[in-house]
Amino acid sequence: MDLRGRTALITGGSQGVGAAMAKRIAKAGGNVVIHGKSEDGFANETVDTCRAMGVEATLICSDLTLPIQDTLRVLSPESHPALSQVSLLVNNAGVFLDSSFLEMDETTWCKTFRINVEVGYFLTQAFAKRWITDGTAGRVLFTGSINGLLAEPEHTAYDASKAAVGGMVRSLCVALAPHRIRVNSIAPGLVRTPLTNQILDARPDVLRWMELHTPNGQVPDAEVCGGLAVFLLSDEAEHIHGQTIFIDGGMSIWQQPDLPIA
């Protein structure tokens, strides 16, 4: 799959799933603008890896909890000229804040929806306006989650936000497909990242539980998300619109026995 001549903006692209997508886009020949909360070792490693593949890679750091208009101003061609070439938008930034329903507070709820839903919605709107004016066949990819389909009692805000992503993708597809703009999402299950590896290394029982509850018995590396992202952003996916593709080893379709972890 060939993304040469394309430039992608990946929010939350400095580490984890976002970094995996940025690296696979670069491997396919696409230039990348990587957004992260701060410039750290993960962010610099991602940028350096992409540049080593012979593409242009730019790092932009900002806090996505700021008012939407501030985020749109920071992530605009007027602030960063590299963004003037963007024709691929990957809305990957997200937060996973633990709180049960009975303990949920407004601050946690609003922060979850601001980053997981609102930022992607309004970034898509901003880029779509430019693409429609320029006649650009843009492509948008959101990162959803298996939690948008399967519920967990301790993650009610996160679950609701990822369900919202799925609905938003369908609505944006209907709005933007007539303008030759494709909108889709990927919905990962648990994947290995530096953060999740810390949890799995400390709790082998959690890893075993996940393996038992996944039909293919695997917890894959985040790179699997990168491969799917490149496909959905490529010409090969020309007729795929408004879809959420689960990448979870089959967990989301398997009716499982209740095997709680003590």
Which positions are annotated as active-site residues? 158
Give a yes or no: residue 186 inside a domain.
yes
Give a yes or no: residue 258 inside a domain.
no
Give a yes or no: residue 145 inside a domain.
yes
Of the ranges 9-23, 93-107, 142-156, which is most confident?
Answer: 9-23
Nearest CA among 57, 59, 38 for reference residue 49: 57
Q: Which CATH number does the domain housing residue 167 bear?
A: 3.40.50.720
d(CA 53, CA 60): 19
Give a yes or no: residue 2 inside a domain.
no
pLDDT digits (tens, 9 = 90+) for 149-174: 988 888 999 999 999 999 999 999 99
Distance from the Cα of residue 192 to its chain's centroid: 15
Do the beta carbons of residue 87 and residue 136 sit within 8 Å? yes
Would you state the structure tokens that stand for residue 260, as one six-digit string?
């709680």
Least confident of 109-123, 134-148, 210-224: 210-224
Domain hosting 240: range is 7-193+222-246
Give a yes or no: residue 55 inside a domain.
yes
User: According to the model, what pLDDT value does residue 193 have?
Assistant: 84
Give a yes or no: residue 206 inside a domain.
no
pLDDT digits (tens, 9 = 90+) for 174-231: 999 999 999 999 999 888 888 788 888 888 888 888 888 888 888 888 899 999 999 9
Contacts of 235 (CB under 8 A, 6+ apart): 1, 2
Count of domains observed in the chain: 1
Give a yes or no: residue 205 inside a domain.
no
Strand partners, 183: 140
User: According to the model, what pLDDT value does residue 261 have?
Assistant: 47
Report pTM. 0.93
Give a yes or no: residue 162 inside a domain.
yes
Per-residue HEC secondary structure of 138-179 comes to CEEEEECCHHHCCCCCCEHHHHHHHHHHHHHHHHHHHHHHHH
